[in-house]
């Protein structure tokens, strides 16, 4: 990546690192306090919904594998995006992804009449994925299972298609597919900001 595309105030991705630390601390808290102590910070539909859950649910995880996969996503996409966009734009992107994922999951849960909590940073990570795929569509992403490399635009497209199919078919009920879709939508909502950034970067490079 050309050095000119790095935001001068974000050569060290402090916000992305902070998200990793908060996720780790949230997970440690879950392991060391009674479940009733942290469940109010998960995302609940009405009548248990509280406004702070739109943020706090993203720092709790259902297990080590869940945490590790989201951490990999933050490291892979978040570190670069914060360096490129700057800490403020990156923070907005992450927050929009987190909240839009929460809102999508809440709507789906209310319509289905379900009353169960949602936790995890996956929605924010998927917003980062879509932003990364928009800025670097031809960058190679290596799948973990199976280990197949593919361009970022194709990976994002296939993941979106899979999430739509799983959400509509009710497969893998323990996964919040509507939150994933909401996070992707959050990434799409940020496209105007990303477009302006890319255009400005190309102008400087020229």
How far is it, in rounded angstroms, from Cα 109 to Cα 103? 10
At 68-109, the pLDDT tens digits run: 999 999 999 999 999 999 899 999 999 999 999 999 999 998
The pTM score is 0.88
Percent of the chain at pLDDT > 90 equals: 61
* SS3 per residue for 25-47: HHHHHHHHCCHHHHHHHCECCCC
| Residue 3: per-residue pLDDT | 39
Look up the domain containing 45 and give its range. 3-201
More confident residue, 3 or 9: 9
Per the domain annotation, does 206 fall within a domain? Answer: no
Per the domain annotation, does 48 fall within a domain? Answer: yes
Total of domains in the chain: 1
- Distances from the Cα of 86 to the Cα of 13, 77, 90, 106, 187, angstroms: 8, 13, 6, 30, 16
For residue 11, what is the domain's CATH number?
A: 1.20.1540.10
Per the domain annotation, does 64 fall within a domain? Answer: yes
Q: Please determine, for residue 118, whether its predicted confidence score (pLDDT) is greater than 90.
A: yes
Mean pLDDT computed over 135-139: 92
More confident residue, 190 or 197: 190
Per the domain annotation, does 83 fall within a domain? Answer: yes
Under DSSP, is residue 150 helix (H, G, I), strand (E, B) or coil? strand
Per the domain annotation, does 105 fall within a domain? Answer: yes
Q: Is residue 107 a contact partner of residue 42, using CB atoms and an 8 Å limit?
A: no
To the nearest 10°, report the CA torsion of 120, 124, 128, 131.
150
Q: Please determine, for residue 57, whether its predicted confidence score (pLDDT) is greater than 70.
A: yes
How far is it, in rounded angstroms, from Cα 196 to Cα 202? 10
More confident residue, 32 or 162: 32
């Amino acid at each position: 990546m050309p050095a000119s595309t790095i935001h001068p105030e974000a050569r060290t991705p402090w916000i992305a690192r902070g998200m990793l630390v908060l996720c780790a601390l949230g997970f440690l808290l879950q392991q060391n306090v009674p479940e009733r102590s942290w469940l109010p910070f998960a995302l609940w539909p009405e009548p248990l919904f509280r406004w702070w859950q739109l943020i706090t649910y993203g720092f709790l995880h259902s297990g080590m594998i869940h945490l590790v996969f989201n951490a990999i996503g933050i490291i892979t996409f978040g570190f670069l995006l914060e360096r490129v966009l700057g800490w403020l734009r990156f923070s907005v992107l992450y927050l929009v992804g987190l909240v839009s994922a929460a809102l999508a999951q809440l709507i789906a849960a209310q319509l289905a009449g379900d009353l169960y909590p949602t936790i995890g940073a996956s929605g924010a990570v998927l917003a980062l994925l879509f932003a990364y795929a928009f800025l670097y569509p031809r960058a190679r992403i290596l799948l973990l299972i199976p280990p197949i490399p593919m361009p970022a635009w194709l990976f994002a497209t296939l993941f979106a298609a899979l999430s739509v199919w799983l959400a509509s078919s009710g497969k893998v009920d323990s996964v919040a597919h509507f939150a994933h879709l909401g996070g992707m939508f959050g990434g799409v909502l940020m496209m105007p900001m990303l477009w302006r950034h890319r255009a400005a970067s190309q102008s400087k490079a020229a």
